[in-house]
Amino acid sequence: MRVSAIFKLLVGIALAVSALAQLFQHETWWFIQNVNLIFHEAGHWIFGIFGDFIGLIGGSLLEILIPLIVTLHFVLQRHWISVAFGAWWSSTAFLSVSIYASDAQERLLPLLGGDSVLHDWYHILSRSHLLPYDDLVGYVFWLCGLGMVAMLIFFLVKDQHIQTLLNRHTLR
């Protein structure tokens, strides 16, 4: 039980540190970015049936929703180390959308499909008359990513094995 608690605690710390590193470096790791990108592109197709504008929003929406749904599933199962993973994944999705939204005015990010494709957030914010606030919109998504790291830590310490381990060491 103690080895399990130590392992879970180390994994949780590694997840939190890696999420914070990505958030503060404003850079997602390639392997999780590729996973997020699959859901982003699928979101355009799925939500596109509701119209062009909803289809544009759908990419970022599904990119964020999938890890949040996974996280919620594990919360309901009370499997706290898995919640920590889901929160880590969610933080990377929020960061990815943050970077994309913040790029709306500059449009410097390389897009899948090259120069001929639309920059989602340029069109979303332009149509909403919010383009001058792209950095603020991106910052809100970034803060959500940071909130997911707080959630990761909160739920990690709810794990019974980790609580037992932490209580043993605080009583001595």
Return the SS3 of 127: helix
Return the SS3 of 110: coil
What pLDDT was estimated at residue 168? 75
pTM (predicted TM-score): 0.92
Query: If we measure between CA atoms, which residue out of 25, 159, 161, 10 comes closest to residue 95?
Result: 25
What pLDDT was estimated at residue 82? 96
Residues of the chain with pLDDT under 50: 171
